[in-house]
Structure 1
Amino acid sequence: MSTIISSVDFSESSLNAARYAAALAASIEANLILVNVVQFPAAVAEAAVSEQTYEEMVSLAQHDLENVAGELANRVNHSISIAADVLEGTVDYQIEVIAEKYKPFSIVMGIRSGRNFERFLAGSHALFALRHSHYPILIIPEGCLFNGFKNIGLATDLNHVKEEPVESVRRHMSAFNATLHVVHVSKNINKAISEEASEPISLANQLSGFKPKFYYVKNENISEGLREFCQLHNLDLLIIIPKEHGLLDLFSEKHSSRIATHMKIPVLAIPPQLLHQTSDYTIM
């Protein structure tokens, strides 16, 4: 049975993401692990946290996280196993440690919007996970509810698709009875078609079992082009494969405000590193 990890810091955005994760886990009969990380006193030295106070913080976090787990269990009629793990250390490190242990189907994290979204996202744990995690990261926009996946988009830059973790894309598609829409957004469509003619064929062959539909979208702004495409085709989920210089820029400070304002659906980031990993986090 697969596992979904949900990072919870008790903010409303993370609690909403946990509710989304529970509904998702129930839909694919996966285990759910809620994770809260209490930082070491050294990491918050300016607060002058005593050892006793720190222990009380850990105990309170465990109590609150178990309450969240209980509420989620009720929401899904106790149909899945929901665990509550409070870890100590730094969020970024501990999330990756527990991911290495369970090799999750996905790690679910919430993001919040607002006037200071750019500064928040630029230094957020979600962005760090997108850049460094070796496992799929599912980013849930504030207020987003799980209603199943009927239409899933896969954004591609059509650059060396044989080096992309298509097996992980297939694994996620296999969990849902959804139509797959593969989209390439470019400033120059004719150039993209002529120079990268073999890439769509390669990708189509790798995803042939899902009968993908391919689209070329002309737009000067990639994030704006994707936003319009998601709306036009009523997508429930957008899959991206972050690269050092490419679609990960959608989550840079430059693009984040536009994403926060317009992207209303979850984004699943599948890291290229999964290309070289064994498939021991399969479904069921």
Structure 2
Amino acid sequence: MKTIIITTDFSKSASNAVRYAAKMAKSIEVEQIILYHAYDNLNTATDLPMTDIAPPLVKEQSLANLEAVQAELEQVLGENNSVRVHLVTNNFPLLRGIEEIAEEWRADLVVAGATGRSNLEQVLIGSNTVNLASSLKLPLLIIPANADYQPIQKIVFACDLRKVSHSTPVVEIGKWLEILKAKLLVLNVALEGKQISPDMIMEQYKMHALLDIFQPEYHYGTSNDIAEEIEHFAEGHGAGLIITIPKSYGFFRSLFHRSISKHLIKKSHTPLLLLREEEP
């Protein structure tokens, strides 16, 4: 992995995502980091000084704030690091800005904080992150506000048996297992009380055919709250990362669009990596 983009809105959650990504980048020998702020998304609730300044000066203020973030990032990386850090700021909508940067710099990953500048009691997850998760084609790593990077030894792949197919991003999953030198735990959680159909056996065969190459552990469970069950499983098994596919499982919707989740956001330490289905 050569290049990662870290998007920041200068909130506490975004600052934590920067620290997490810096530690991870150092661990897996990333070559360059693009720190990106889209000031099109600017509002008054920020943890760095963004005052009521005239539009021509917004870019300068944004760049100054990025430089402050860069200083903290480089402190985490240490003096002898070889990671190059680049600052980019513009007034593009966040998704468009990231897509253009990703194409220009041939980026491999985007990192974002799990919450934006809004008060957590009012908004579960920053709307920008929701937009990225719904539309971004690159892998997106979402960092909980209280997560601290530790070497990742186990990865949970949360999958829906009904949607296991050849579009499952097997190559991308394998890439992350190799980069992190981690063990794969494959987890399927069905809704409590839902009747198991005969087709489920065939779906299990499909899943094994795709994933057995990684020699994973397979786990099955039931719950009325699939997202919470996945999170409990990851924490209980000491997993440092959850991988899922937003369009399969309905997991993303369950995770971020229900009522405020004390468990997943306030207490969770497990980052979430969203991968895209492979093109047919």
Check whether TM > 0.5: yes
1:210 maps to 2:211? no
Equivalent runs, 1:215-254 vs 2, <5 Å:
215-243=219-247, 246-254=250-258
TM-score relative to the length of structure 2: 0.84
Q: In proportion to residue count, which structure has more helix?
A: 1
Match of 2:90 among 58, 71, 87: 87
Change in Cα spacing, 1:53 to 1:220, as seen in structure 2 (3 Å) is: same
1:271 maps to 2:276? yes
Change in Cα spacing, 1:188 to 1:48, as seen in structure 2 (3 Å) is: closer
After superposition, the C-alpha distances for 1:159-210 in whole angstroms (9 at most, x for unaligned) are 2322222221112112121111100111258844732222232222322332
Indicate the percent of aligned positions where both proteins have the same amino acid.
25
Inter-partner Cα distance in structure 2 for 1:250 and 1:144: 20
Equivalent runs, 1:24-43 vs 2, <5 Å:
24-30=24-30, 31-39=32-40
**Preserved CA contact (<8 Å) 2:116 2:127:** no
Who is 1:139 aligned against?
Answer: 142
Equivalent runs, 1:165-176 vs 2, <5 Å:
165-176=169-180
CA deviation after TM superposition for structure 1 residue 109, in Å? 0.8
**Preserved CA contact (<8 Å) 1:204 1:212:** no
Who is 1:100 aligned against?
Answer: 103
Change in Cα spacing, 1:104 to 1:192, as seen in structure 2 (3 Å) is: farther
Inter-partner Cα distance in structure 1 for 2:17 and 2:136: 18
TM-score relative to the length of structure 1: 0.83
After superposition, the C-alpha distances for 1:220-247 in whole angstroms (9 at most, x for unaligned) are 1102211221122111111111117711
**Structure 1 counterpart of 2:77, which letter?**
A
**Preserved CA contact (<8 Å) 1:32 1:81:** yes
Inter-partner Cα distance in structure 1 for 2:78 and 2:111: 20
**Preserved CA contact (<8 Å) 1:103 1:135:** no
**Structure 1 counterpart of 2:273, which letter?**
L
Aligned pair count? 271
Inter-partner Cα distance in structure 2 for 1:122 and 1:64: 24
Who is 1:151 aligned against?
Answer: 154
RMSD: 3.0
After superposition, the C-alpha distances for 1:66-122 in whole angstroms (9 at most, x for unaligned) are 4344334327x4132222222332223212222233343321111249994364345
**Structure 2 counterpart of 1:27, which letter?**
S
CA deviation after TM superposition for structure 1 residue 123, in Å? 5.0
CA deviation after TM superposition for structure 1 residue 40, in Å? 8.2
Equivalent runs, 1:62-81 vs 2, <5 Å:
62-74=66-78, 77-81=80-84
**Preserved CA contact (<8 Å) 1:112 1:141:** yes
CA deviation after TM superposition for structure 1 residue 49, in Å? 5.1
